[in-house]
Amino acid sequence: MSWFVAVVFASLSSLQPLRPVQPVQAAPQDASTVENDGWVTDLARLLRPSDEAELERRLETLKLTHDHEVVVLTVASLNGAPIDAFARDVAERWSVGGRDRDNGALLVVAQSEQMVHIHAGAEIAPALDDVTRGRIVRELIVPEFKEGRFRSGLEVGAETILALTVGESSPLDQSFLSRSRRGAWTVPLVVLVLLGLSWRSFGGWLARKRVVAPPRAPASRDATPVAGTLITHGATGKW
């Protein structure tokens, strides 16, 4: 019996301790190697399989309806590449919109950088300039992404892109209308405040002697931009 115990003890001693299973993470992608998987290539795994299938169906329907196409690509990381250059290179490799017509758009989502970019082909670029694509990203897609609604954000982005290419009304119009209604009372209020301040300044001017201020020194060409200056990023946005 003692020899049996010895054998069991030796066997147990040779076993390696169990290691915790590490979660599988999607690897960073390179524009020259990423492969097309249909209307939706979800390499970052942002979508549930059912959501990806529904988005595929929706994009196929939009293609048949508008004769333009929108392709979606999500990646785990850009690996240091600028998202606009990444999107352009992928769109060229995949021939988004066709090589002859170039009438498609590629919507790229980078998970690690939390960035979204829309690349437009040459034929639809006049209807989708940088400012317009930037509004689609920041006003329609990013708010949905911030709430974790990735499928919804991608759908509204694709629908807006295709609607604008054929001159139809789009969710972007509703976004502008909503912001206009919220600001309907802002303009009159600001005007009243400015009038009040102007009248107060005019009264103060009458009550004191006029003093001529010394000339101001010219601004240095090497001056640092003031913090808070608005910087636009074209067709790119972050969530």
Q: Rounded to an integer, what distance in angstroms lies between the CA atom of residue 110 and that of residue 113?
A: 6
Contacts of 151 (CB under 8 A, 6+ apart): 47, 48, 51, 52, 54, 55
- The pLDDT averaged over each successive group of 10 residues in the chain (239 residues) is 54 50 52 90 95 93 88 95 95 91 94 96 92 95 95 93 88 60 46 55 53 44 31 69
Asked if the structure places residue 31 within a domain, the reply is no
Is 97 a domain residue?
yes
Q: What is the pLDDT, as a whole number, of residue 131?
A: 92
Angle CA(92)–CA(97)–CA(100) in degrees, nearest 5? 80
In the DSSP assignment, the letter for residue 141 is I
- Residue numbers of the domain that contains 143: 40-175
For residue 41, the model assigns a pLDDT of 97
> Based on the structure, what is the number of domains in the chain?
1
d(CA 237, CA 114): 8
Looking at residue 223, its pLDDT comes to 32
145 in a structural domain: yes
User: Which amino acid makes up residue 68?
Assistant: H
Question: In this structure, is residue 30 part of a structural domain?
Answer: no
Q: 23 lies in a domain?
A: no
Confidence (pLDDT) at 33: 87
* pLDDT score of 140: 96
What six digits make up the tokens of 236?
A: 């790119």
What's the pLDDT at 145? 96
User: Is the residue at 138 inside a domain?
Assistant: yes
The CATH number assigned to the domain holding 114 equals 3.10.310.50
Residue 212 counted as domain residue: no
User: What integer pLDDT is reported at residue 211 of this predicted model?
Assistant: 46
Residue 104 forms part of a structural domain: yes
Contact 34, 75 (CB under 8 A): yes
